[in-house]
Amino acid sequence: MSKKLLSENKTARKLTRKEKQRITIANIALIPCVIKNYIDTLVKVYRPTFAYQLKVEFFYYIVTTIIKRQNTYENKALENIPVALNATILRGIKSDYNEYIDWLIEQEIIFKAENYVPELSSNKYCFANFILPSLKEDSVSEIIEMKALESSTVIVARSIQESEVYEENKHLLKWFNDGLEIDFEGAKTYIKDLSYYEGEIFDLTHKKVHWNHQISTLHHKAFYATRNKESDFRLHTVLTNLKKIFKPFVTYEGQELVGYDLKNSQPFFLIFLINSIINNNDRISNILSRIYSIKDYNSFMLQKLREVLSTEDFQKEYEIFKTWVLNGEIYENMKSVMNPKKQLGSYFANKYNAIKKVTELKKVDNVRALMKGVIFTLFFSGIKTRNSNYKTFKKDFPNLIALIEIFKMKNNADFSKLLQNIESECIIDFVSKKIANEYPEIPLFSIHDSLSTTEKYAHILADLMPKYIFEYTGLMPKIEEERWKKYDYQIDYKRKVELHSEWYAYNGF
């Protein structure tokens, strides 16, 4: 069904000026059959009495939006976490949208989180305990159309070509077509058999709901694209939300995909940021203006940055840190600063459990993964954090941390948004466009700090990606190749079963 719909609408019509000011949502979405059937039955038997005409598709939209937002990068654990809904979009579809949300809550399909604070946070929703068991038992999804939700303020895009961000990212998004496929049956079997994930055995049922939704979205070609200048400015697609374990199942026109990742990307772009401030790079000035007000930046931030940058102590710390990053050995060198200790032969790290609202000790596969977590803590935690790793690193690099904290003065999230905006402009708007202009026949797919293509063109991408990153930043990057089929996760899973059979004795999930 979805293939036919997309193939009939490959040529996108031009939007009028009025339409460009409207909100755009995708026409095709996937909803778990168990929820759709439950909603349909209730609507027939106990039809809601709303003030205006009932649009059952709006129920579907709310449910699919919750699933989609639970599938984002921020929800790495893929748990049933509460997520916010965009009130502007909801209001554009139906002014009385709260009636629809309240009805879904009354029917115990979703529930509203209790940590909402008026004027300080948004309402957040997740699936109710009543519906979860059924959702976990039956993860089959059904394709639905949202055309009925179109209004004077909402455009329903019939295909990815009609998305708001298609034209400015056409060089990447045009490859989301019938050639992009996933071995759906193979991926489904893998999910069904999997009981070991990320170093431990536990209840994977809710993760499997999300995983099935991810592969179903790709299989049914329910393609979408978003890119928001107000947040990270990254290009989000069905591939950016696809778990790495499913890469071996993905092909383009039957060919294997090969990716090239920028190693240590966030530290790399921090070096570029610092160099750009020192050298008054206009490119950085434009990005900074998206994150901070010109008044705030020019009045006190720039002055504080210059004070730190001008000190000899900062220059000494910076040279050490920059060498680590540009040599691609930051995580290895971090070990000497942090001096991590093994417990019972393994490394452990503190990780926050958003569901339980507690910090838990989790096993980490190796010291590199442990140090990567430390770097993310340094970059993205709050200034007042009590994290011991943050304090340890700050003792050795107090001036570097002082500089980073300046970017977090107004909001802790500003610094991560800044680095992500730099990354996005570099990889999406400069590097990939350069390659696409030079070789328009090369299929290109982006996943944040990496670009991928088919095996046929991999050598061209391997040559040009570092060349154009250098042209943008003035820094020589370290690029790492990743063959999407290199890791046979199913074989790896079977090997773990053989080595640790006692972990798999219980098959209750």
Helix (H/G/I), strand (E/B), else coil: 198: coil
Cα(291)–Cα(232) distance, integer angstroms: 10
Range of the domain at 363: 293-409
pLDDT tens string 135-188: 777 778 899 999 999 988 899 988 899 888 999 999 999 999 999 999 999 998
**C-alpha pair distances (Å), 390 with each of 187, 198, 396, 399:** 39, 25, 10, 13
Res 194 pLDDT > 50:
yes
In a domain, 423, yes or no: no
Res 509 pLDDT > 50:
no
In a domain, 496, yes or no: no
Cα(212)–Cα(456) distance, integer angstroms: 30
Tally of structural domains, the chain = 2
Of 158, 175, 198, which residue is a domain's last? 158
Could you tell me whether strands 154-157 and 23-26 are parallel, antiparallel, or unpaired per DSSP bridges?
parallel
In a domain, 198, yes or no: no
Q: What are phi and psi of 454, to 5 degrees?
A: -80, 160
pLDDT of 294 reads 81
In a domain, 69, yes or no: yes
- Whether the CB-CB separation of 37 and 168 falls below 8 Å is answered with no
What the block records as the tokens of 263 is 């190693």
Cα(113)–Cα(294) distance, integer angstroms: 36
Q: What is the DSSP letter of 116?
A: -
pLDDT of 451 reads 98
In a domain, 283, yes or no: no
Classify residue 476 by burial, with Cβ atoms within 10 Å: 0-12, 13-18, 19+: exposed
In a domain, 88, yes or no: yes
Instruction: Please state whether the predicted TM-score (pTM) of the whole model is above 0.75.
Output: yes
pLDDT of 460 reads 97
Contacts of 374 (CB under 8 A, 6+ apart): 334, 338, 389, 393
Mean pLDDT, rounded, for 390-397: 91
Which band of pLDDT confidence, cut at 50, 70 and 90, is reported for residue 502? very low
- Whether the CB-CB separation of 33 and 67 falls below 8 Å is answered with no
Of 104, 128, 158, which residue is a domain's last? 158
Residue for token pair 């009925």: 148
Of 379, 394, 409, which residue is a domain's last? 409
Output the average pLDDT for the chain.
84
pLDDT of 60 reads 96
Q: What are phi and psi of 415, to 5 degrees?
A: -70, -40
In a domain, 131, yes or no: yes
- Per 3-state DSSP, the chain is made up of helix, strand and coil in percentages (nearest 5) of 50, 15, 35
Q: Which residues pair with 32 in a beta bridge?
A: 141
Which band of pLDDT confidence, cut at 50, 70 and 90, is reported for residue 197? low
Cα(173)–Cα(11) distance, integer angstroms: 13
In a domain, 163, yes or no: no
